Amino acid sequence: MSNPYAPPNAVVQDVVVPDQGIVPADRGTRLGASILDGLIFMLMVYLPFLVGVMIPGVGPNQTTAVLTGVVIAFSGLVVWCWITFRSVARTGQSIAKKMLGIRVVRSDGSPASLGRVIWLRNVLNSLLGIVPLYGLIDSLFIFADSRQCLHDKIADTIVIKA
């Protein structure tokens, strides 16, 4: 007679999770991409504004020069948005992330949607920036083992090596 309290005799195999090839991006690479994206934005938007304002012979008054600068800067902003949004939608990479070989994905490794990246990682994060010390706290989260900043946790994303 068998013991009803004995452990089962079934053979149980361990579940093996396949390696998805997800390697978190280095903290320094993420910092470099952030700085580089800021420089690219400055070159495409702010620099054209300054050049537009300083173009000699634009007009005798300052209003014309400023208006010219605004129009040129707006054109640069449109081009920057088109390039960035197109790249993020296709590959999850901003211009600098593509240059440095990293990309944004969902925490499970699936592609992050353009809306998630733009609205949750950028727009919401910018709005939260009005809270004192939020930017510092957001940045310090990078030192956790997951290497996720606070905005990554909010958007359920991670930055990985591409």
Report the pLDDT value the prediction gives residue 43, as an integer from 0 to 100: 96
Specify if 147 maps to a domain: yes
Number of domains, the chain: 1
Q: Look at residue 141 and tell me if it is in a domain.
A: yes
Range of the domain at 107: 27-161
- Asked whether residue 15 is domain-assigned, the answer is no
Amino acid 13: pLDDT: 65
Q: Which residues of the chain, if any, have pLDDT below 50?
A: none
Question: Which ranges of 42-123 does DSSP label H, i.e. alpha helix?
Answer: 47-54, 62-91, 95-100, 114-115
Residue 17 lies in a domain: no
User: What SS3 class is residue 3?
Assistant: coil
Could you tell me the two tokens for 18? 């396949």
Is 138 within the bounds of a domain? yes
pLDDT reported for residue 63 = 78
Confirm whether 8 is domain-assigned: no
Are 155 and 108 in contact, with CB atoms under 8 Å apart? Answer: no
Q: How many CA atoms lie within 13 A of 93 on its CB side?
A: 16
pLDDT the model gives residue 58: 55
Q: CA-to-CA distance for 153 and 158, rounded, in angstroms?
A: 8
- What is the token pair recorded at 36? 């580089």
Under 8 Å between Cβ of 155 and 120: yes
* Contact yes or no for 65/53 (Cβ under 8 A): yes
| pLDDT score at 34 | 94
